[in-house]
């Protein structure tokens, strides 16, 4: 299906795309048909700098299963990192 | 017999007379050729959409697909699709007006037969239903698995999509062909049933083909959802339908 459901979150950080590094301030997340991945539906994330309105983005299209695994690994890395750096 | 085709990017006038990019293809020769407006799905003005435009040209139609996101600036079709999504998609009235512009562009060409069909896939299927219920000069419309023609959750309506297309059925201006997979979740079989009931209630000319063993988007050859047997039959439905309703002698409904 073509879903209009789109999540957005403000982020602080940088991303590297075809033109090199850029500051990003927004991530747009949606589960819909991919543009490139050979899947019926994918979890898509666009990292952009919405403040400057440029069409440049860093995009990923992930299978639902791998997206869920990624979420778990991000949380695990954050938890481990928090512990490791607690004494810093 | 010589066969040739011209495929090119052109600029048309859309809503508010805006300049809108479009991709078109037509057989070489004087015509007359019936026209088809191809409405792309939400992921954008992609390669498959252009392949569909050329497919119609191969079958003797002058086909055009307006780039519904071309107002969003320069950029590749996928980047502009991402930008459109971040803005909640484009408004229904803008899409309908851009399709009207594409239709008018085709009709003014010297090779035009004057007949115009509209076809759309997925969200473009919904846009097709909407367009055929809003404009008054479309000759045949093909809705391929358009979701949210029936809106069960009012929260899905918005400023950009204020009306469920099914509520406009009384105004449908032309024969409608619907192609659906019985394993689709959007639209569900029940929603397709309700669309068919609305068409019957209003005495509209329609044909629905519902394919077992197929879900959503089963024409897409580069996706796991592709179902070659059902897709081949479905394309047969499309060309049979347009052959009857866009032929020079066919009467307006």
Token readout for A81 is 């990192």
Model confidence over B61-98: pLDDT tens digits?
Answer: 999 999 999 999 888 999 999 999 888 899 999 999 99
> Does residue A30 belong to the interface with chain B, where contact is any CB pair within 8 Å?
yes
Predicted model pTM = 0.91
pLDDT of residue B25: 98
Contacts of B74 in chain A (CB under 8 A): 55
The mean pLDDT of B219-235, rounded to a whole number, is: 96
pLDDT of residue B249: 56
pLDDT of residue B253: 36
The mean pLDDT of B160-183, rounded to a whole number, is: 97
The structure tokens 């992921």 sit at: B43
The mean pLDDT of B179-187, rounded to a whole number, is: 96
Model confidence over B210-222: pLDDT tens digits?
Answer: 999 999 999 999 8
Determine the residue of chain B that is closest to A58 in CA distance.
B79
> Does residue A18 belong to the interface with chain B, where contact is any CB pair within 8 Å?
no
Q: What is the distance in angstroms between the Cα of B221 and the nearest Cα belonging to chain A?
A: 10
Q: What is the mean pLDDT of chain B?
A: 95
- Report whether pLDDT(B140) > 70: yes
Nearest to A38 among B83, B217, B222 (CB): B222
Which residue did the predictor score with more confidence, A82 or B35? B35
Spell out where A1-81 has E strands: 7-17, 20-32, 42-48, 57-62
Which residue did the predictor score with more confidence, A35 or B101? B101
The mean pLDDT of B132-137, rounded to a whole number, is: 98
- Report whether pLDDT(A1) > 60: no
pLDDT-based confidence at B251, cuts 50/70/90? very low
Alpha helices in A1-88 (DSSP H): 64-84
Determine the residue of chain A that is closest to B79 in CA distance.
A55
Nearest to A46 among B82, B88, B184 (CB): B82
The mean pLDDT of B18-26, rounded to a whole number, is: 97
Which of B101-115, B187-201, B238-252 has the lowest average pLDDT?
B238-252
ipTM of model: 0.78
pLDDT of residue A50: 87
Phi-psi label, residue B89: left if phi above 0, alpha if psi -120 to 50, beta otherwise: left
Rounded to the nearest 5 degrees, what angle is found at the Cα of B136, between the Cα atoms of B131 and B139?
Answer: 80
CB atoms within 10 A of CB B237: 18
Token readout for B168 is 């406009």
**Which residues of B are part of the catalytic machinery?**
122, 184, 216
Model confidence over A17-30: pLDDT tens digits?
Answer: 888 999 999 999 99
Rounded Cα gap, residues B152 and B71, in angstroms: 31
Contacts of A8 in chain B (CB under 8 A): 86
Cβ separation B217–A33 shorter than 8 A: yes
Longest dimension (CA), chain A: 49
pLDDT of residue B252: 40
Rounded Cα gap, residues A67 and A76, in angstroms: 14
- Report whether pLDDT(B236) > 50: yes
Model confidence over A30-77: pLDDT tens digits?
Answer: 999 899 999 999 999 999 998 886 668 999 999 999 999 999 999 999
> Does residue A12 belong to the interface with chain B, where contact is any CB pair within 8 Å?
no
Quick one: chain B helix, strand, coil %, rounded to 5? 40, 25, 40
pLDDT of residue A41: 92
Q: Which residues of B touch A (CB under 8 A)?
A: 41-44, 46, 72-75, 78-83, 85-86, 88-89, 122-123, 147, 156, 158, 161, 184-186, 215-217, 222-225
Q: Return the closest-CA partner of residue B156 out of B82, B84, B89.
A: B89
Cβ separation A33–B41 shorter than 8 A: yes
């Amino acid at each position: 299906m073509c879903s209009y459901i789109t999540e957005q979150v403000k982020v602080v950080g940088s991303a590297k795309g075809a033109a090199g590094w850029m500051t990003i301030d927004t991530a747009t997340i949606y589960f819909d048909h991919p543009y490139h991945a050979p899947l019926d539906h994918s979890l898509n994330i666009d990292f952009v700098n919405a403040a400057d309105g440029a069409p440049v983005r860093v995009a990923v299209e992930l299978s639902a299963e791998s997206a869920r695994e990624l979420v778990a690994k991000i949380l695990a890395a954050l938890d481990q990192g928090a512990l490791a750096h607690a004494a810093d | 017999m010589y066969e040739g085709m011209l495929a090119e990017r052109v600029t048309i006038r859309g809503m508010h007379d805006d300049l809108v990019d479009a991709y078109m293809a037509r057989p070489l020769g004087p015509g007359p050729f019936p026209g088809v407006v191809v409405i792309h799905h939400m992921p954008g003005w992609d390669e498959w959409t252009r392949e569909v435009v050329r497919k119609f040209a191969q079958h003797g139609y002058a086909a055009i697909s307006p780039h519904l996101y071309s107002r969003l600036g320069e950029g590749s079709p996928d980047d502009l699709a991402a930008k459109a999504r971040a803005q909640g998609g484009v408004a229904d009235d803008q899409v309908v007006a851009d399709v009207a512009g594409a239709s008018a562009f085709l009709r003014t060409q010297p090779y035009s037969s004057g007949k115009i069909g509209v076809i759309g896939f997925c969200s473009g299927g919904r846009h097709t239903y909407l367009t055929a219920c809003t404009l008054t000069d479309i000759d045949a419309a093909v809705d391929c698995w358009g979701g949210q023609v029936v809106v069960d959750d009012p929260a899905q309506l918005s400023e950009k999509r204020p009306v469920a297309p099914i509520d406009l059925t009384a105004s449908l201006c032309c024969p409608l062909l619907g192609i659906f997979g019985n394993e689709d979740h959007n639209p569900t079989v029940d929603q397709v049933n309700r669309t068919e009931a609305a068409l019957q209630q209003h005495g509209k000319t329609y044909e629905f083909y519902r394919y077992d063993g197929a879900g959503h988007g089963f024409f897409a050859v580069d996706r796991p959802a592709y179902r070659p047997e059902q897709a081949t039959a479905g394309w047969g439905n499309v060309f049979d339908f347009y052959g009857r309703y866009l032929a020079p002698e066919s009467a307006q409904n």
